[in-house]
Structures are given as structure tokens and as C-alpha cells.
Amino acid sequence: MTRKLLGALGLGAVLAMSGVMAGFGAYAQTPLPKNDYANKASWLCWTGKPGDACAIDLTTTVVRADGSETTETFKPDPKAPIDCFYVYPTVSNDPGVVSDMIPGPEELNVVKSQLARFGAKCRIYAPMYRQFTLTALRAQMGGKPMQGSADPATRGVGYGDVLDAWNSYLAHENKGRGVVLIGHSQGSGVLTQLISKEIDGKPAQARIVSAILMGTRLPLDRGKDTGLFKAIPLCKSASQTGCVIAYASFRDTIPPPANSLFGKAPTDAQIAACANPANLAPGGKGEFHAYLSNGAQIADSGNRRIEWVKGKPNPATPFVSVPGLLSGQCVEKNGFSYLEVHVAGNPADPRLDDIAGDVMANGQVNPAWGLHLIDANLAMGNLVDIVGAESKAWLAKKK
């Protein structure tokens, strides 16, 4: 992935957070013509379709602390018993306020990093949607908003598209199957709206295996497992279904500062949801089964090249896994609730001692964003395993 995509994944959270803070009341019905989501061309990923963007090489080099390497191959399961429905973050560099429906390198790269690996446990559905573009978002943050960017109808186009895609999927593809909702950053914000308005406490909830909302701050009422969602609680085990996994990640050495967008709920009566994919038990610690991109998204963040093993050429595979290096737990500190990530680098062994993934500005880490860029990568293996366990539990309940 390019460094532009690094910025996209970070800046997308601004839009997602504004949706949460506004209680989703600012969105209006889109005035644009509706997309035809019965047409597979409107979908970025659809298991089995020609040109499926998730049918890609996910080969991984496993780099151990002693510097030894093995190759791990990946095989999707086109006959998986459940489905996954994914909404990607703000990545579009299209020139207008809202994006077009043509997949670009940005959309293709993000599903490679955040979604395709779930294909081992579920059939994948990822709609293209006319999102509020990174171009418009950058202009807005620079104090020069593009014409029409403040129009509520324009800002609601993306949500309207995802709603239409969801309804089309339910009507024509679901056929009573369980489904996992997956999103990151703005994608999590859009899915939070969808769950709140169309699923929570409604008939469609019967189809929900779980929701995975990464890089967001889903509000929970203090002392409870519910909050914004009234009937969908926080997940506490991999065998639990009908629940939500939500988190935002920060290094244990760089906790969220007071101005962080993540880790704090809108009111003092609430707390930001945090469920640790490495150990869903409340307060549980665990090792992350990370799949880190062996390319610019990780290795070139802030112009800092990563050498996975000292003095050894980097592997050629698109992903690298580093067992034993990364672990974490959900913590509450200084008014924030977040996934605290520990990097157990050892200068005495040949493997790298740190990872990239921080949002950088002028060569400096921006602590307010934490490890937002790699929220998904950090725990990808754990999340895939959880979806597999949840699938078995959901199917057992149907018998």
C-alpha cells in the first residue's frame, strides 16, 4: 500500500467519529440514483464472482525470534457456512466530494489487508459505495472545504449505499445464513449506524453472528455490556454469538493523549467499548496473531524501513507474521478505554524489535491516533479464529 493509504486509514476516523458524536442524526436520504446491488459489478468482493478483489495471494512468511522463517500458505473456503459483510474505511482519492463506483488501488489494497483472510471462515460480501472521499476530507481538515461537502444529503450518500447493499444481500443472498459484520474506521461508523437503525432489536438481528468494529469508540453504559446498541452486547468469549467486538489500539509506551479521537465515549456516563481479540475475557491478556503487510503500509511508515531479520533480505511474501512479539489487553487509564499493545522486542535476538504502524506527521508520531493504521493487522489471526469459533456456535444453536 502507498503512504497515501496510510493517511486515508487515519483520516477516515474523523468522519467515523463525527457520526458517533452526532448520534447519526445528521444524515439525510441520498438524492442520487440508487446503485444496483443485485449486479455483482457493484461489489468489491463477492466470493466466487469473476474479478473478486478478495481472491488474492495472502502467503505469509512466519519470522520467529531466532530469525528462522517458514512459509504459510492460505486457502479460502468458498463453501464456508456463514457470511461476512464488510465496509471499508475512507480510502478514495477520487477528485469529487463523493467517490465513484470504480474500484481503485486504494479499495483493492485495503481489502487485501483487512478482509480477504476472513475468507477461510466465511463467504465474503464487500460492496463498493460512494463514500465521502479522502480528497474532500483533506480539504475540510485544511480549512478549505469543497463545495457541497457540508450538505447532509451528500454526507449521507455512503450510508445510503451500504444500506441498499445490505438490504439487497438480505433479500437475495443471505437465505437464512449467519453473517458477521466487519468494518474499520469510517466503515465501523457506517456499520454502527446500520446496526443502530436496522438491526439492533429488529428481525435482522437473528442473522447476526457478531459485529467486528475496529478503530472506533462504540459507547457502552458504564457497568454494562450494552449502550448505544441495546440488544447487542460486548463479546466476552469466542463461543458467544450475537455480540460485538470493538476496539482502538495504542502502544503501551504511547497512551492516548487528552485530544485523542479514540478510547473515550461521548459522555461520562459511558465508556468506549474494548474487547481484546487475543483474549475476550474481561481484562484478559493475550498474544496477537498478527499479519503485518510486508510493504509500504507497514515497512515504510514515516520513511522508516523495516528489516524483519537483521542482516537478512526481507521475504517476498505479501505478509509477515511475528509470533511472540505482540500482545495486549484492554485497559482503562486516564479516562480512556482502549486496547493496549505491548511489543516484546529483544535486542539480543536477530528479529526486529519494533513494528511500524503509527500515524506520522513531519517525521513524528502523532500519539492521538495510536496504532489506528494497523488495528486490523495486529489481531487478524485472532479475529479469523474467533469468527470460526462463532460460526460453529451459531450453527450449533440452529440445530
The yes-or-no verdict on residue 27 having pLDDT over 70 is no
Can you tell me the mean pLDDT for 285-306? 71
Residues whose CB falls within 8 Å of the CB of residue 29, separated by 6 or more in sequence, listed in order: 153, 156, 160
The yes-or-no verdict on residue 23 having pLDDT over 80 is no
Grid cell, residue 19, equals: 457520526
Q: What is the pTM of this model?
A: 0.91
CA atoms within a 13 Å half-sphere pointing along the CA-CB vector of 161: 27
Query: Strand order in 326-333's β-sheet?
Result: 249-251, 336-343, 326-333, 286-287
Are 268 and 323 in contact, with CB atoms under 8 Å apart?
A: no
- Top pLDDT among 388 and 9 is at 388
Alpha-carbon gap, residue 36 to 343, rounded angstroms: 45
CA distances to 8, 113, 165, 167, 211 from 170, rounded to whole Å, are 30, 26, 9, 5, 16
Residue 121, amino acid: K
Alpha-carbon gap, residue 353 to 364, rounded angstroms: 19
- Top pLDDT among 269 and 151 is at 269
Beta-bridge partner residues of 85: 125, 181
Nearest to 371 by CA among 275, 249, 280, 277: 249
Alpha-carbon gap, residue 278 to 382, rounded angstroms: 6
Alpha carbon 288 to its chain centroid, in Å, reads 15
The yes-or-no verdict on residue 78 having pLDDT over 70 is yes
What average pLDDT does the chain have? Answer: 89
Residue 328, amino acid: G
Residues whose CB falls within 8 Å of the CB of residue 148, separated by 6 or more in sequence, listed in order: 97, 154
Domain span holding position 320 = 3-398
Q: What does the pLDDT look like over 131-179, one tens digit per residue? A: 888 888 778 878 888 887 888 777 789 999 999 999 999 999 999 999 9
Question: Looking at residue 206, what is its pLDDT?
Answer: 97
Alpha-carbon gap, residue 63 to 301, rounded angstroms: 20
Radius of gyration of the chain, Cα coordinates, nearest whole angstrom: 20
Alpha helices in the chain (DSSP H): 3-21, 105-114, 134-141, 152-155, 157-169, 186-194, 296-299, 375-378, 380-398
Q: What three-state secondary structure class fits 131? A: coil
Alpha-carbon gap, residue 283 to 274, rounded angstroms: 10
The yes-or-no verdict on residue 25 having pLDDT over 70 is no
Nearest to 207 by CA among 199, 215, 197, 218: 199
Nearest to 84 by CA among 46, 58, 132: 46
The yes-or-no verdict on residue 30 having pLDDT over 70 is no
Q: What does the pLDDT look like over 110-126, one tens digit per residue? A: 999 999 999 999 999 99
Alpha-carbon gap, residue 89 to 190, rounded angstroms: 9
Total domains in the fold of the chain: 1
Question: Looking at residue 297, what is its pLDDT?
Answer: 52
